[in-house]
Copies of this chain bind each other. A is one copy, B any other.
Amino acid sequence: MTSSEEVGFVPGTGEGQAKVRIIPLGGLEQIGMNITAFEYEDTIVVVDCGLAFPTDDMLGIDLVIPDVTYLERNIDKVKGFVITHGHEDHIGALPYILQKINVPVYGTKLTIALIENKLKEHNLMKNTKRKVVKHGQSITLGAFRVEFIKTNHSIADAAALAIFTPAGVIVHTGDFKVDYTPVFGDAFDLPRFAELGKKGVLALLSDSTNAIRPGFTASERTVGKTFDAVFAEHKNNRIIVATFASNVDRVQQIVYSACKYGRKVVVEGRSMVNVIGTASELGYINIPENTLIDIDQLKNYPDEQTVLITTGSQGEAMAALSRMASGMHRKVTIKPNDVVIMSSHPIPGNEKAVSKVINELAMKGVEVITEDTHVSGHACQEEIKLIYSLLHPRYALPVHGEYRHLVANRSIAMAMGVPKERTLIMSSGNVVELCEDYCKVVDQVQAGGILVDGLGVGDVGNIVLRDRQNLAQNGIIIVVLTLEKYSNQLLAGPDIVSRGFVYVRESEDLMDDAKNIVDNAVADCLDRHVTDWGKIKNIIRDSLSDFLWKRMKRSPMILPIIMEVE
């Protein structure tokens, strides 16, 4: 570690300097759930409000939203949500959080439209103020002015934010890449970044997702070339392209290739239909007339004159492509002559699901194309360097990514001349105070994930999850017996019922032996006049548990239930 002397930075006391606070409430311990509060005196502005998808150990959980207790406690200060782009990990928690923190939401046109789709679903349109902001425009929120700056990403209309605070300018990149030849709209507004850099940037919070990858992320247009090549090569096949619903530019390029080769386009999958509908209405995608056909019209065209654009590129079990691959799709039957383009890379954790779909397609004789069919939406090392070189921020606070990615981003910052002491890897809940003189964690507030299961928000916690894990691994054995209230005489049972343990009909011996063990345990308790039901339950649990471990090396959950009859 380099000492502060060596790098020439001695933190001062910050006396007389304005101090701003950055409080990440999520997004740092995992991918997703991005939400960061910026605070100065009576002003809090919140950047993004995303959800996270459950990790493997969160059994039965649908999604995870951030704990915003800190915002609730400071509700009077909160001026609004400022959203960088319309991906789930940046907007997905809004319908839940807005019910507690009802403040205006600011974003670019497509971003606000995608948020509105969610608000409609949750019946929140009436009560939520939304404001569309253009790139280059600023909004004033309390003590802050927030400027939206054009960036590129795997969804249209992404923005970086320059937050003008009394302590200085803080730039938050959101998720970004630098695409010099974007499919739609302008390239990254590098000149504005250069301008900000010249005037002085206090801190940069920049996307770290690809910070371990050297080089540059290729332009979205390179994928269009692959599409053209595949369409040119497969003039006698039906073509099916699976990609992310939100990647409007990707869909645009498929439409371009389809038009070029005289094919009709079918859009399939609920989220794909929704996003493309919205993007089309707002002019973010250009679909020539007579190109789009309904899925029911497919049969009216020869296969080689059609292309399907579908969800399911991540192998999601319920998505359209998976249903096609497994023969469960009601309207599309896969044929050996089909060509499927997987236009995405598996997100970590989805590799096996994606392989499963590819294998199922291969079994149906389909050629599956996966090479050069995707580019990332996140900046690689050279792009991150470019941003640091334009902004040369005083402090570097890497965001968006796993811990190793944040570390890699910090290394880039250091290579670009930010002394290590002026870098900070934040944790969720940190209160980071920032001024010319220093940047440090000064406090800690409540932060973390709230589990959403069905309509229940926060009613499933660690104890319930631990029970689910135990049930999942070993199943449950329930022992019921009925005792007479005063005499403690056994009136019925003990009966044994199991679920998820063994297939009872094939394990009759085992279950008979288990029954004997329980019978003896109960008889012994009653003989010894044990009247404490807690004790009786423990004795049943322990004796059955011992027996099953010795016999089977398994530990199902054992649940004794005693009923009482007066």
Q: Which residues of A contact B (CB under 8 A)?
A: 55-56, 59-60, 348-349, 351-352, 355, 358-360, 362-363, 368, 402-404, 407, 453-456, 458-461, 463-465, 467-476, 478, 480-482, 491-493, 495, 497, 499-503, 506-507, 510, 551-554, 557, 559, 561, 563-565
Contacts and interface: CB of A to CB of B under 8 A. Distances in A.
A359 B492 CA distance: 55
B348 A473 contact: no
A500 B467 CA distance: 5
A455 B56 CA distance: 26
Nearest to A481: B563
Contact of A497 (B465, B551, B559): B559
Contacts of A453: 552, 554
A464 B502 contact: yes
Contact of A482 (B59, B464, B491): B491
B499 A559 contact: yes
A557 B559 CA distance: 15
Given A60-B472, A464-B475, A476-B476, A456 B502 contact: yes
Number of copies: 2
Most B CB contacts (10 A, CB to CB) among A60, A481, A500, A565 go to A500
Given A507-B459, A563-B482, A499 B348 contact: no
Given A480-B480, A482-B492, A561-B497, A552 B454 contact: yes
A565 B464 contact: no
A193 B456 CA distance: 64
A27 to B, nearest CB: 14
A480 B562 CA distance: 9
A470 B564 CA distance: 30
Contacts of A359: 402-404
B352 A500 contact: no
A468 B500 contact: yes
A233 to B, nearest CB: 16
B461 A471 contact: no
B56 A352 contact: yes
B403 A563 contact: no
A95 B63 CA distance: 43
Contact of A460 (B402, B404, B470, B503): B503
Given A453-B554, A492-B565, A563-B482, A464 B500 contact: yes
A60 B474 contact: yes
B563 A464 contact: no
Most B CB contacts (10 A, CB to CB) among A465, A472, A510 go to A472
Given A351-B349, A463-B503, A502-B460, A561 B495 contact: yes
Nearest to A507: B459
Given A454-B554, A456-B552, A480-B561, 6 more contacts: A60-B500, A469-B472, A471-B471, A471-B500, A482-B492, A493-B563
B403 A503 contact: no
Contacts of A55: 352
Contacts of A404: 355, 358-359, 362, 368
Contact of A407 (B362, B464, B552, B565): B362
Contacts of A478: 478, 559, 561
